[in-house]
Amino acid sequence: MLEKSSKIYVAGHRGLVGSAIWNNLISRGYTNLVGRTHQELDLTDQYAVKSFFDAERPDAVVLAAAFVGGIMANSLYRADFIMMNMKIQCNVISEAYDHGVKKLLFLGSTCIYPKNAPQPMKEDCLLTSPLEYTNEEYAIAKIAGLKMCESYNLQYGTNYIAVMPTNLYGPNDNFHLENSHVMPAMMRKIYLAKLIHEGNWDAISRDMNSRPVEGVDGSADRETILSVLRHYGITDNKVILWGTGRPLREFLWSEDMADASVHVLLNVNFSDIIGIEKYSSVHYGASTDGAVDRNHSTGRGGAIPSLGEIRNCHINVGTGKELTIRELAMLIVKTIGFDGEIEFDASKPDGTMRKLIDVSKLHSLGWTHRVEIEDGVKLLYDWYRSTIEPR
C-alpha cells in the first residue's frame, strides 16, 4: 500500500482517464501528485523523460498517456499510432525501472484482443488469433506495453500492473470530430444536427469555437460551417453514422475506470494476479537508492522454472454489459431530445462486431462498476453542454 505522502506521477493527467485518476487519488488523500502537459514534457522524447525522472523521482507511476483516436484516425495514421505509443511506453517504463519506482500502472485497451475472440473475452484469449485490421497498430503497441510490464516483473521482480479498459467515456472526453471515439462523436453530431434544424446559430458558433472542425470555428460564415459539418454526416435534422449500427459495444464511465485503476494501484500486487504469494516475498523493485543491476535480480520470477509459463497477467476493466451502436444512438437521441433522422452508412466499416470482456478477474480482486450506461450518457451530455454553454 502506498503511503499518503508517496509521490505519484500521473502521465496523461489532463486526459479522459488521467484526469479522473488524478481526482480520485486526491479524494483518497493522495496529494503529492506530479503531472506534466504534453507541452511541458514530450513523452516520446527519451532524454526529456529521463531528465524528468532524474528531477522528480516518483514512488509510483500511472501511465495513462497515449496517442488515441477512433476508427477513422486509426485508419489514417497507422504509423503514428504504433510509433508514438511505443515510444511513450518504452521511455516511461524504462525510466521508471531505472529510477526504482515501486509501483507502476499501465493503461491499455481491450482492442488488444483478437477480432474473432470468444465472447466475453477473457484475459487468456490474448494473441490466440488475428487482430482487427482497423486498429491493429494501436493494439500491437498496447500488447507490447502489457508485455513490458509482465516481462519486467518476471525478470526483475518489479510490481508493474497492466489494466485493459473497455470503451471509455466521461468528463474531458474528446469531442473533436476528426479523431474522437464513437460516443462523443455521435453525441456531438446529433446535437449539432438538432441545432441546425432549430436555427440556433449562437449555440452552433459556441460549439465550433470550443472545438473547431478542420480549422473552421464559429466565426466562419454559415455556408462554410454547414459544408464542413456535411463532410461528417451532419445536416439539418439528420445524421449519417458509419457502419451498420449492428456492432455490440461495452462502455465504462471514466470515473469508474479511475476508481478501478486506483483500487488496483493501491491494493493489487503482481503476486495477487499470478496467485503465488512467495513471488513477492524475496524482491520487488530496485534498491532504495534507485541503483539498478540489470544483470542480477534475486528472486525474479523468470528465474524460477517451477512457476511454469506466466502470461496474460493484465486485468480487464469494464462492466460486462453491452449494447449495439444503433441502441447507443437511440439512447443519445432520447437524451438530447432529437426528433430527426439517424442513417447508417453500411458502405463504411463496422470494425469489430463484438467486444465484450470478461471482468471476473477484476471482480475477484474486489472491484465492480457503479455507473450504468443510461445514467452515463446523460452525465456526459450534461458535461459537454457545460463546456459550451454561456457561464
Distance CA 391, CA 388 (A): 9
Q: What is the pLDDT of residues 305-354, one digit of tens each?
A: 566 789 999 999 999 999 999 999 999 999 999 999 999 999 998 877 88
Higher pLDDT, 378 or 79: 378
* Residue given cell 459550451 in the structure block: 388
pLDDT band of residue 284 (cuts 50, 70, 90) is very low
The pLDDT confidence band at residue 262, using thresholds 50, 70 and 90, is very high
Q: Annotated catalytic residue: which of 30, 97, 138, 156?
A: 138
138 is catalytic: yes
- The answer on pLDDT for 136 being more than 60 is yes
> Phi/psi of residue 233, each to 5°?
80, 25
69: confidence class by pLDDT, cuts 50, 70, 90: low
- What tens digit of pLDDT does each residue of 10-62 get? 999 998 899 999 999 999 999 999 999 999 999 999 999 999 999 999 999 99
Residue 118 to residue 307: CA distance in whole angstroms: 27
The grid cell for 38 is 504534453
Environment class of 258 (CB within 10 Å of its CB; exposed 0-12, middle 13-18, buried 19+)? buried
Confidence of residue 281 (pLDDT cuts 50, 70, 90): very low
Q: What is the pTM of this model?
A: 0.86
